[in-house]
Structure 1
Amino acid sequence: MSVAKSFVSALYGVAVAEGTIHSIEDPASKYLPALKGSAYDGVRLKDILQMSSGVRWSEDYADPDSDVARLGRVMASGSSLLNFVRTLKNDVKPGTFNRYCSADTLVLGLVLEAATGKSLAAYTQEKLWQPLGATQDAYWLKDNYENTLTFGGFNATARDYARLGELYRLGGKFNGKQIIPSAWIKDSLTPDAPQLIPGKRSNSDSTMGYGYQWWLPEGQQHDFSAIGIFNQFIYVSPDKQIVIVKLSASRNYAKADKESSWRENETIGFFRQIAESID
């Protein structure tokens, strides 16, 4: 599910390094003119990477009328994902509020496919899967119009998921080769605006911090994580030199809007105990 979002961030690191994406200061509509007139018209790619696009959005999985539920129906029917994002409107000024929004990652994927002229599957194979020496095939889901479900449509094995975590733990280097620039890794994990800093704050819908499609938990452990609905994780602790992948699912996930239902902070705490015991 949303663990896929962190793979998209990694691909952006490659695209920026190679000049395919000139700068994340560029607006998304520069690369995908079809976004003009939508909530993403003129919004920086950086703000979208940081879930601070300003788009009006509800990611309430228990509400059948929420925006993410509407997106799920588009996904299930194979309808155009691009047409869906073109219907979205702004809510707040971009770059001021951290609101988790799966449509943001969907736009990132649409932009990347437009900029590279390649499907996300082909780009992932070339820039990540082969360089990482993945041992199994992986799959991206698509709609009926060849648009990729970048917000949560990536399927891979646990060991190959762990390769992304290890790549980030090692600062973008894998098997002696720099796959993603170390500067991108650092920037991806650095909250550089008030709404992104871990802790309870009025300008975010989460107490976790946020980077470029990576979660930054509270505390001084310098760890970070990719997190998917139902509690899938790639957890990385550079200090403890450990990567943990969890693909099991919580059947009660998000049935209520409280931590006892989400259990994400609890799971992070569990991973930290594992890392501490191994250390």
Structure 2
Amino acid sequence: MTVQKRMTLADLGLFTGAPQHEHFCRMKDLLDTCEMTPSANPYPWPRGEMTPLPETYDYDGASRRTREFLAGTDTAALLVLVDGVIRHESYFLTGGPDVQWLSASVAKSFVSALVGIAVEEGHITSIDEPISSYVPVQPGSAYDGVSIKDVLQMSSGARWNEDYNDPASDIFQLNAATAGIGGTLDDFVARMVRESEPGTVCRYNSGETQILGALLARATNRSVADYMDEKLCEPLGMTSAGYWLVDPAGREVTFAGLNLTARDFARLGELYRNEGVWQGRQIVPAQWVRDSVTVTAPHLRPGRPLVGGQQADGVGYGYQWWLMAGDRGEFSAVGVYNQFIYVDPVSRTTIVKLSASREYGTSLDEATSGELETIAFLRTIAQQGH
């Protein structure tokens, strides 16, 4: 089903400081979407003894108050699972257990899982193949002859500026393409320009995930939403409908357009915490999960990836997953405006934080993105009592 469009992403005033919590909770009512149905065999999360959040956490050499952080980042949902059991669940602002929230780039990690499934099913022969063997691109353009693996690792060599503080940046142009401005999303990625040798620089690039969405659609001969409905929503027991934003041609906005409830977002974290196994069934190949959350090359190590021209302190990159420095094996799906699916395998914890942090992108500073501080906060929750 497609919902009639009433506005575009550009109309939301993203990265201007404008409050967004009234938008992110109802994107299906504002923009064109396609719907994924709840599972025929829904799996409600078991609930255990509720654990209070820590009153404080340490960041940047100082103790900070949890309550102030949650308010300051316009938090809408905070869900904590330990061993697959809900141990904390809070909602604020326009959030709620039945609210489908905009994932932003958390969507990228779902796309990665679907690519892994498509490889296992033989729709994609190998991720060492050029992505241009499946997706038509202009000769000599960024994705012509580049391996699917390099695209998964944000290492295609494409020229890109993911600067949310620059209205002329590539990410703003990609957002415009979601409304058909300058062509479709497929048109946009087909003509992107190469800048560096593939497999040498990890440059965070939402265009990479958009062409992975086109890869999925062409390799499976199905829409991304249809494929995800069967391969993730149904077997993971999702209890609510899900929605993908789509462009005027009907292509899913795979770099940022997935909308789910906090409880359903958590299913991907738990699936990956358990190496792709759900209720005894292998949903995503175990080796794919391990490869997805492991640094496999020097340019992917913590501190090496580039975001908006700056190095990403303390985090490395896998197959569309962020990898935390340290020896705990933590990994996270991360989206603008402070969206997180964070997993700490050591404490067996999965945490979902959905937000509408209004200052996000108004500068290049960590103080406005809050991502490193969020990691410190989530780590404190995961490690309390351990």
Paired residues for 1:16-55 under 5 Å: 16-55=119-158
Contact 1:98 1:204 in 2 (8 A): no
Aligned residue type for 1:18: E
Paired residues for 1:65-214 under 5 Å: 65-77=168-180, 79-199=183-303, 205-207=311-313, 208-214=315-321
C-alpha distance in structure 1 between counterparts of 2:131 and 2:298, whole Å:
22
- Structure 1 stretches of 4+ moved >4 Å: 200-204
Contact 1:97 1:204 in 2 (8 A): no
C-alpha distance in structure 1 between counterparts of 2:267 and 2:138, whole Å:
33
Deviations 1:193-252 (A, max 9, x none): 111011357998323100000001222221000000011000001111010001112111
Q: Matched residue of 2:266: which SS?
A: helix
Deviations 1:7-41 (A, max 9, x none): 00000110111111110000001111345442100
Alpha-carbon shift at residue 88 of structure 1 (Å) = 1.0
Aligned length: 279
5+ residue gaps in structure 2?
Answer: 1-103
C-alpha distance in structure 1 between counterparts of 2:148 and 2:204, whole Å:
15
Question: Kindly tell me: are residues 145 and 194 of structure 1, through their superposed partners in 2, closer, same or farther at Cα, counting changes over 3 Å?
Answer: same
C-alpha distance in structure 1 between counterparts of 2:127 and 2:139, whole Å:
17
Q: Matched residue of 1:234: which SS?
A: strand
C-alpha distance in structure 2 between counterparts of 1:91 and 1:214, whole Å:
23
Paired residues for 1:5-24 under 5 Å: 5-24=108-127
Contact 1:98 1:205 in 2 (8 A): no
Deviations 1:95-116 (A, max 9, x none): 0001000000000000110000
5+ residue gaps in structure 1?
Answer: none
- More divergent stretch after superposition (256-265 vs 153-162): 256-265
Indicate yes or no: 2:334 matched with 1:227: yes
Deviations 1:22-81 (A, max 9, x none): 100000011113454421000000000000010000000110100001111111346411
Match of 2:324 in 1: 217
TM-score calculated relative to the size of structure 2: 0.70
Aligned residue type for 2:380: Q
Larger RCO, structure (CA 8 Å, separation 6 or more): 2
Cα RMSD (Å) of the superposition?
A: 1.6
Larger Rg: 2
C-alpha distance in structure 1 between counterparts of 2:138 and 2:129, whole Å:
13
